[in-house]
Amino acid sequence: MDLLINVGLPVSLAIIMLSLGIGLEAADFRRVLTRGYPFAIGAVSQVVLIPLAAFLTVTLFGLPAEIAVGVMLLSFCPGGVTSNILAKFAKGDVALSVSLTAVISLLSIVTVPILAAWSIDHFMGEAAPEVSIGTLATALFLITTLPVAIGVSIRHFARGFAIRIDSPLSTLASVLFVLIVIAALAGNWQFFVENLSSIGTALIALNIALLLIGLGLARVANLTWDEAKTISVETGIQNSAMGITLAALITGTTTGFSPLAVPAAVYGITMYVVVTPFILWFRSR
């Protein structure tokens, strides 16, 4: 278990983020300048509204401190490659989805450590583990930002090679994601069973709310329907693997997965159930 948590978990997330980077082009970053308004709406939704919705959810449902922190950690993790795939299934604006994923994922090295430290202190009080923002930022850089940057560089300087490994690497990333979720739940099975009703209900409610918040904000902002569908998906889909890894980094546990990882693991399953009707609706219009 020590090897799985200390080595396997961060390496798996790094591979998932490398897969994201391999699929990115330089144009995905330049698009922020040419399509600033839709991007700004999506960025506000992801960076501001998702954490606010998560905070309201854990408060309204009165979730225990460890679960509340886990939900908050999850809310800080942008959707990753999964949101890009689902945006494509929804017949949304895939280019906008990719640009949001690219930029927000890189910004997470700044936003996540600060927000995570605040959440831990706010919800856990004296029981909170000591969190070093600098150490956490360094760890996130090494296992998220750096792999994305390496992937983008490979795509730019060895495009043919990147295209050849894109699909196999994406498949590997998907398999690793499933294994991470299963391991996190298995490592906290009793905790999960005891809190299943509260965790499941709260996360499903949050997921539905996020999808509707993203859609509503985009429509109020007068974005196109394709852009609105994309903002909805980007708001409702979170990077569960990153949330689980973040929980392990914060608690420094070596005897099993942290209970803080349970909400991210559960969300990694329920979000597909919740988003499916939305995707089918989006595809029909």
Residues 6+ apart with CB under 8 A from 171: none
Read off the pLDDT of each residue in 54-81 and give the average, rounded to a whole number: 92
Which of 7, 17, 282 is CA-nearest to residue 146? Answer: 17
Where in the sequence is the domain holding 147, given as residue range(s)? 2-284
Tens of pLDDT, residue by residue over 15-62, are 888 888 888 787 777 777 777 899 999 999 999 999 999 999 999 999
Does residue 283 carry a pLDDT above 70? yes
User: Inter-axis angle of helices 94-124 and 36-44, to 10 degrees?
Assistant: 30
pLDDT at 253: 58
In the block, residue with structure tokens 């990115």: 24
Tens of pLDDT, residue by residue over 166-204, are 888 888 888 887 888 887 777 778 877 877 778 899 999
When divided into structural domains, the chain yields a total of 1
Instruction: Specify the CATH number for the domain of residue 224.
Output: 1.20.1530.20
Q: What is the pTM of this model?
A: 0.87
